[in-house]
Amino acid sequence: MSYRADEEVVGICRDLIRIDSTNFGPQPGPGERAAAEHVAALLDEVGISSEIYESEPKRASLIADWAPEGVDPSAPPLLIHGHLDVVPANADDWTYDPFAGEIADGCVWGRGAVDMKDFDAMLLSVVRARARAGVAPRRPIKLVFTADEEAGGIYGAHWLVDHHRDFFEGCTEAIGEVGGFSLTIRDDLRLYLIQTAEKGIAWLRLIAEGRAGHGSMRNDDNAVTELAAAVARIGQYDWPHKITDAQRAFLDAVSEAFGIELDPDRAEETLAKLGSISRMIGATMSNTANPTMLTAGYKHNVIPGSAEASIDGRFVPGGKDEFLATIDELVGDKIRIEMDTLQPSVETEFSGALVEAMQQCLLAEDPGARAVPFLMSGGTDAKAWDRLGIRCFGFAPLRLPPDLDFVGMFHGVDERVPTESLEFGARVLDRFLATA
C-alpha cells in the first residue's frame, strides 16, 4: 500500500512545540507529562501501545515496542530516541511566540524546532504512516521519548536505564540527535554530519573560603579575590589540540571537499570557511572549560567569607584525566572543587551496515549527499544508552539551506526549522527503517 511518510511531519512538529515542556533544571517547571501523553495518543491512534513512566511528578518518559507483522524477528531491535524537554525561552526576545509553532518564511518557529521536537515529529510521522499502511520496518524498533535530556538525563534516559533496563534487551545500536544535518560545500556536494562521538561533561563548582570582614579594611584572605583569580586562569587557558578519530575523519572530509591539505594545528582557519558550524567543530578540537556562574556576598561593604563559581567543562574521548589534572593545576591549593556532574565521553566507529544504510538513504533523496562522522561538543541521551553497550549515532536527517545558521538555532533565539527540511528528514528516515 502506498503512503506518504512526510504528510504529517510539519503539523506534528507544530503541535509538539505548542506543548510547553521547558526544563528549568533544578527549578520546578511544567515537566514532560503533557508532551508524553500527546505522543502516546498519536501512537495509540495507529494501534501502537506505549507506557509512560514518571521519575518524579510530571517528569515523564515514554517507551514503546514496535514490532509489527513483517519485521525480521531474528534481527536485533533498533533503539530510536528523542527527548521531549526543551530549554527555557524568553518570549520578549523572539520574533514569534516560542510556544506558538508559527509557520513563517518557510519555517516552523519555536522552542524545540531543532532541539529536538523536529526529530520527534519525523519519527512519529514515519511510524504512523507505516502503521496505517501496514508496512513494517525491517527490524523491531524500540521507541523512546525521554524527559530531562537538557539537564543531563537524570530524570529521563539514565532513570530508564536504572529502572527499566529489560526494555532495552537485545539493542545494540541506536539513532537520535544531533547529526544527519547538511553542510553545503558546493551545489553538487553536501556533507551530512553523522555524530559518532560526543564530549564528556564535567560541571564543576569552585568554592573559595576566606576571612569575612568590613569592606573598608585591608584583607589578605579575600575569598572573592582568590576565586576571581582561579576563574580567570581557567577562562583564559589555551587548551592544547586533541584530535580524536571522529574529528580526524571529519577534517579529512573537509580537506578533500575543499581540495586542500589541512594542518590540524591551524584547522580553525579552514573551518572558518564552513560558516557557523565552525563554532561547534572548533569546540571539539580540544577539551574546554568555561566559567558560567558566580555567587558571592550580599552587601557592598561586607567582604564575604566564601565565594562560588560554576564551570562547564567538556572533555574529548580519552581526555578526561588530562582535563581534571589541568583544572586542579589551574585552580590551585586554596580553592575546593566539587563535582556537580560527571558524565563520560561517548565514541563509536563510523562503520557497519547501519552507517551504510544512512549513506544510501541520504543519497536516494539528495544525489549530492556524503555522510561523514563528527564529534559533537555537547551531550545527549547517548551517554545513558552507552551504559548498556549500545552503539549510538546522531542521525536526525535534515537538508538545510546553505545560509541557515543551524548551529545558532540550538538553545538560541528564534529557533526554527524549514518545513522542506522536515519533510526531507521524514522521507530519509522512512527509507532508513526499510533498510537499517
Per residue in 22-56, pLDDT tens?
999 889 999 999 999 999 999 999 999 999 999 99
- Interhelix angle 353-365/419-435, nearest 10 degrees: 140
Question: Which position has the grid cell 508524553?
Answer: 36
Query: 389-418 pLDDT, tens per residue?
Result: 999 999 999 999 988 888 777 888 999 999
DSSP designation for 239: P
DSSP designation for 76: P
How much is the pLDDT for 262?
Answer: 66
User: 9-184+192-196+345-435 belongs to which homologous superfamily?
Assistant: Zn peptidases (3.40.630.10)
How much is the pLDDT for 186?
Answer: 87
Query: pTM higher than 0.85, yes or no?
Result: yes
The residues facing 293 across adjacent strands are 310
DSSP run (H or E) holding 359: helix 353-365
DSSP designation for 91: G
Query: 156-171 pLDDT, tens per residue?
Result: 999 999 999 999 999 9
What mean pLDDT value characterizes the chain? Answer: 93
| Cβ contact 101:118 at 8 Å | no
| H and E: helices and strands count for the chain | 13, 19
- For residue 253, the SS3 value is helix
Cα 345 to its chain centre, rounded Å, is 13
Nearest to 388 by CA among 165, 153, 198, 175: 165
What is d(CA 275, CA 399) in angstroms, rounded to the nearest whole number? Answer: 16
- Which residues, including other chains, have CB under 8 Å from residue 145's CB and lie 6 or more apart? 35, 36, 39, 61, 62, 63, 81, 82, 83, 84, 120
- 278 pLDDT band, cuts 50/70/90, is low
Least confident of 8-12, 293-297, 325-329, 403-407: 403-407
Query: 100-137 pLDDT, tens per residue?
Result: 999 999 999 999 999 999 999 999 999 999 999 999 99
Cell of 365: 533523496
Give ranges for CATH 3.30.70.360 in the chain.
200-239+287-343
Give ranges for CATH 3.40.630.10 in the chain.
9-184+192-196+345-435
Cell of 296: 558571592
From residue 368, give the alpha-carbon distance in Å to each of 352, 374, 393.
22, 19, 21
CATH 1.10.3720.10 fits 200-239+287-343, yes or no: no
- 203 pLDDT band, cuts 50/70/90, is very high
Q: What is the mean pLDDT of residues 356-374?
A: 96
